Amino acid sequence: MSKIKMAPSIFAANFLNLGEEIDRLEKLGVDYIHYDIMDNHFVPNISFGPLVVETISKSTSIKGDVHLMIDLSKDVVSRFFVKGIEIITVHIEADGFSRELCEFIKENGFRLGLAIKPKTEVEAVIPYLDIVDMVLVMTVEPGFSGQKLIQETIPKVRKVRDLISGLGREVEIEVDGGVNIDNASELVENGANVLVMGSFFFSGNNGEKVVNFLRGIHEKVS
Ligand code: DX5
Ligand code: ZN
């Protein structure tokens, strides 16, 4: 199986000490920094924009995973075409979403992630299976960190896994929202291989615990 990747969501970090938070992520050896971008339109919240993404991205070698919870246009998406970002994920439900926009992201050298909200059927990704690099299954309604994972979203992870198996190309599955040590194994067993964690990861010394725990899961299943 592919490696289980850890993607802490910087949105839940201590913004007064961002530099220290990034240093800690580097020491922990996490795989991605997950950037939650919100526009108060697609979701009822505002987070931060490209300046913050660029500033952090420049100061670290950890690759970036940008999760756009915004309505879409080529103009706004291209502002996140920043050095150090590997994946750009857009929501299928967002205004302005189109295949052309997906191709635009890929043509500019980024991997393409497609996100679906808890109530969106998994089948919505089928028309894009030839170009998608990662499917993000939202396990809470997007907009806020610190929510409880919606249990009914877990079978969707399995459904995505079934859809992509046999495609002959690697498509990752990311889960985002309410992920913690108690539900991570079940998510991985159902096919998730990129785990986003916000509030759980950044609370106390949970970051260390999570990294050790994931090593354990990986050794058990590989
Ligand atoms: C929700 C965001 C998540 C969230 C994760 O809209 O996409 O990335 O901040 O935070 P937790 O792990 O606290 O749910
Ligand atoms: Zn996210």
Stretch 36-52: mean pLDDT = 98
E strand intervals along 14-171 = 32-38, 63-69, 85-91, 111-116, 134-138
Domain spans of the chain? 5-221
Q: How far is CA 43 from CA 95, 122, 132, 151, in A?
A: 12, 20, 23, 21
| Gap from CA of 162 to ligand 2 centroid (Å) | 23
Nearest one of 126, 69, 121 to 95, comparing CA atoms: 69
| Gap from CA of 76 to ligand 2 centroid (Å) | 18
**Catalytic status, residue 36:** yes
Calculate what percentage of the chain has a pLDDT beyond 70: 98
pLDDT value, residue 86: 98
Atom index in ligand 1 nearest the CA of residue 141 equals: 6
Instruction: Answer whether residue 22 shows pLDDT above 80.
Output: yes
Q: Which of 75, 162, 176, 182 is catalytic?
A: 176
pLDDT value, residue 44: 98
Instruction: Answer whether residue 202 shows pLDDT above 60.
Output: yes
Three-state DSSP at 101 gives: helix
Give ligand 1 pocket residues (Cβ under 6 A).
9, 11-12, 34, 36, 67, 69, 140, 142-147, 176-179, 196-200
User: Which residue out of 140, 149, 201, 202 has the highest number of ligand 1 atoms within 8 Å of its CB and is therefore the one to mutate?
Assistant: 140
| Gap from CA of 166 to ligand 1 centroid (Å) | 30
Alpha carbon 162 to chain centroid distance? 20
pLDDT value, residue 114: 98
Mean of the per-residue pLDDT values of the chain: 96
pLDDT value, residue 215: 84
The reported pTM is: 0.97
Instruction: Answer whether residue 89 shows pLDDT above 90.
Output: yes
Stretch 37-55: mean pLDDT = 98
CA distance 179 to 195: 7
Stretch 179-208: mean pLDDT = 97
Q: Which of 36, 39, 65, 130 is catalytic?
A: 36
With cut-offs at 50, 70 and 90, classify the pLDDT of residue 217: confident
Stretch 93-106: mean pLDDT = 98
Sign of the CA dihedral running 155, 201, 133, 55: positive
Three-state DSSP at 31 gives: coil
pLDDT value, residue 40: 97
Stretch 80-102: mean pLDDT = 98
**Catalytic status, residue 65:** no
| Gap from CA of 96 to ligand 1 centroid (Å) | 23
Helix axes 206-221, 181-189, angle to 10 degrees: 30
Fold that domain 5-221 belongs to in CATH: TIM Barrel (3.20.20)
Query: Which residues, by Cβ under 5 Å, contact ligand 2, an ion?
Result: 36, 67, 176
pLDDT value, residue 159: 98
Nearest one of 98, 109, 153 to 133, comparing CA atoms: 109
Atom index in ligand 1 nearest the CA of residue 138 equals: 7
CA distance 156 to 75: 32
pLDDT value, residue 166: 86
Residue 72: HSE in the Cβ half-sphere, 13 Å Cα cutoff: 23
pLDDT per residue over 125-137, tens digit each?
A: 999 999 999 999 9
Nearest one of 197, 121, 186 to 151, comparing CA atoms: 186
CA distance 198 to 145: 6
| Gap from CA of 169 to ligand 2 centroid (Å) | 24
pLDDT value, residue 221: 60
With cut-offs at 50, 70 and 90, classify the pLDDT of residue 3: confident
